[in-house]
Structure 1
Amino acid sequence: MAILRILQPGDEVSLEAFLLQHTDTSMFLRSNWRTAGLLDQNARFQGTYIAAYTDETIVAVAAHFWNGMIVVQAPVYLPEVVQTVVAQSGRAISGISGPAAQVEATKSILGLSNRPTQLDESEILFSLALRDLQIPEALASAKVQCRLPHPEELELLTQWCAAYSVETLGQRDTPSLTTASRSIIEARQAMAMHWVLVAEDTPVSYSAFNASLPDIVQIGGVWTPPALRGKGYAKSVVAGSLLDARSLLVKRAILFTGDNNQAAQAVYQGIGFLPTGEKYGLVLFEETQA
């Protein structure tokens, strides 16, 4: 039988040792605890973490984060860690992410299989060793430049972030979405975790890291306004962000995208990303439910 524990400060080494066995599907868990620690005071990136131990070794983890997302990495004891983390956190559930099969099982375990979703996908996981990054000609020749956004660009990027959420994540265009998008952009700016591509000093495309570690980064939130698509801007902004990461000695990048999103897959494969063979599950529910 496994022993279940709430993780606390001091448990970081054992948690990291477990998550490193499942690197490509544990980015949110690894990045969030490194950014915000293991105490849960409801601040951004914080969450309640429940681990299952056998012989003093972690063999499964589920976390319920500040934003309502449940993130799982539980090849064993999935029902136990999921049910316990929801009971302990007391939070509403806004979504689930993790290895695709575990996400699907978690919906069933929590009785949420029939709850309406904004997004429910088993996405393709892609990986790239940054030494193999293929740099688009426009970026290499400085026809376009990739950089940290300027403060005066943040309001535009808030609008882009909201548009991305509507188009890609199925969210509704509401004042609360704009407020949430502004918070996301401000947090990324403070952490230098997003980039804008400019052509003739005009922003034309955007990319961000939604999880970042010393050795590996995870790309998310890539968006180009519809009128500017088909010009190679997305390739350049993602490649530019990865050149910055490579300069900081990051070795690898990963991302996930939908089976049906051929345009995004072409962008990523065009700069060297290859499918890993794993699937990443992402569920976003229509409305928060206690």
Structure 2
Amino acid sequence: MPTLRTLQPGDEVSLEEFLLQHSDTSMFLRSNWRAAGLLDQGARFQGTYVAAYTNEIIVAVAAHFWNGMVVVQAPVHLSEVVQAVVAQSGRAISGISGPAAQVEATKRVLGLSNRTTQLDESEILFSLTLQDLQIPQALATAKVQCRLPHSEELELLTEWCVVYNVKALQGTDTPSLRSACRLVIEACQATAMHWVLVAEDTLVSYSAFNANLPDIVQIGGVWTPPGLRGKGYAKSVVAGSLLAARSQGVKRAILFTCHHNQAAQAVYRGIGFLPTGEKYGLVLFES
């Protein structure tokens, strides 16, 4: 039987050594502990982490974050770490993410297989080495510009975030969703982790990093209003964000998207992303 421990400050090195073995599917875990540490006081990005050890080496981990998401990286001893972290945190469960097969197993372990979901998908994981980034012509020739948003644009971006959550994540437009989107946009602005594309002085597309590390970033929340699609704007905004990351020394980018979203897959392939062969699971439960 493994030894289970709730991780504390001082455990960062051993946690990172384990997660680096599974880096493409551990972005939220790596990014969140770096942003907020291992203490759990309920603040943004904080969570309770439980690890399984064999011979004093971490072999599995599960975290239950401030927003209710259970995130797993547990190729072994999944049942033990998942049950322990939920019991330890005492939080309600809003969703699950991690390697797709582990997400399915986590639902079963927690008795949530029949709970109504807002979203339940096994998504294609894509990767790009940033030196191989293919820059769209419109961006290369400055026909469009990619930049950090201005403060007066945040209200519009909050509206875009709401629509993205409704259309892409099958959420419901409620006051709580609008409040959550406002906090997301403000946090991205404060950390310079999102970008807009401008064409003829008009905002036409948006992209953000939902996990940000010195070596690798994860793209999430790409949105172009329906009336502006088909013009290559999504390619340019994502490429522009990655040029900014590359200038800071980032080497790779990761993203995941659903199997049926052929348009999104074409965008990402068009700037050099290729499937890794892994599947990423994302479950969001209805409130």
Could you tell me how far apart the structure 2 residues matched to 1:181 and 1:230 are?
A: 26
Could you tell me how far apart the structure 2 residues matched to 1:177 and 1:111 are?
A: 26
Amino acid at match of 1:240: G
Q: Within 5 Å, which residues of 2 pair with 1:78-227?
A: 78-227=78-227
Could you tell me how far apart the structure 1 residues matched to 2:171 and 2:266 are?
A: 25
Amino acid at match of 2:63: A
Residue aligned with 1:92, SS: coil
Could you tell me how far apart the structure 1 residues matched to 2:180 and 2:63 are?
A: 21
**Cα offset, 1:217, TM superposition:** 0.2
Amino acid at match of 2:158: T
Amino acid at match of 2:161: C
Could you tell me how far apart the structure 1 residues matched to 2:87 and 2:174 are?
A: 30
Q: Within 5 Å, which residues of 2 pair with 1:65-84?
A: 65-84=65-84
- Cα offsets for 1:21-51 (capped at 9, x unmatched): 0000000000000000000000000000000
Report % sequence identity.
83
Amino acid at match of 1:89: S
Amino acid at match of 2:93: I
Could you tell me how far apart the structure 1 residues matched to 2:177 and 2:106 are?
A: 26
Q: How many residues get paired?
A: 287
The residue number in structure 2 matching 1:5 is: 5
Question: Following superposition, which runs of at least 4 residues in structure 1 exceed 4 angstroms of deviation?
Answer: none
**Cα offset, 1:248, TM superposition:** 0.3
Amino acid at match of 1:163: V
- Cα offsets for 1:51-103 (capped at 9, x unmatched): 00010000000000000000000000000000000000000000000000000
Amino acid at match of 2:245: A
Structure 2 runs not aligned, ≥5 long: none
Amino acid at match of 1:266: A
Q: Within 5 Å, which residues of 2 pair with 1:232-243?
A: 232-243=232-243
Matching of residue 31 in structure 1 with residue 31 in structure 2 = yes
Could you tell me how far apart the structure 1 residues matched to 2:49 and 2:108 are?
A: 20
Q: TM-score, normalised by structure 1?
A: 0.99
- Cα offsets for 1:188-238 (capped at 9, x unmatched): 000000000011111100000000000000000000001101110000000
**Cα offset, 1:176, TM superposition:** 1.3
The residue number in structure 2 matching 1:22 is: 22
The residue number in structure 1 matching 2:276 is: 276
Could you tell me how far apart the structure 1 residues matched to 2:175 and 2:165 are?
A: 13
Could you tell me how far apart the structure 2 residues matched to 1:69 and 1:266 are?
A: 29
Could you tell me how far apart the structure 1 residues matched to 2:194 and 2:226 are?
A: 20
Amino acid at match of 1:247: S
Could you tell me how far apart the structure 2 residues matched to 1:145 and 1:42 are?
A: 38
Could you tell me how far apart the structure 2 residues matched to 1:215 and 1:23 are?
A: 10
Bigger drift between 261-270 and 170-179 goes to 170-179
**Cα offset, 1:133, TM superposition:** 0.2
Q: TM-score, normalised by structure 2?
A: 1.00
Could you tell me how far apart the structure 1 residues matched to 2:32 and 2:174 are?
A: 27
Amino acid at match of 1:2: P
- Cα offsets for 1:244-266 (capped at 9, x unmatched): 00000100000000010000000
Could you tell me how far apart the structure 2 residues matched to 1:15 and 1:82 are?
A: 16
Amino acid at match of 1:229: R
Residue aligned with 1:93, SS: coil
**Cα offset, 1:174, TM superposition:** 1.1
Residue aligned with 2:221, SS: strand
Matching of residue 42 in structure 1 with residue 47 in structure 2 = no
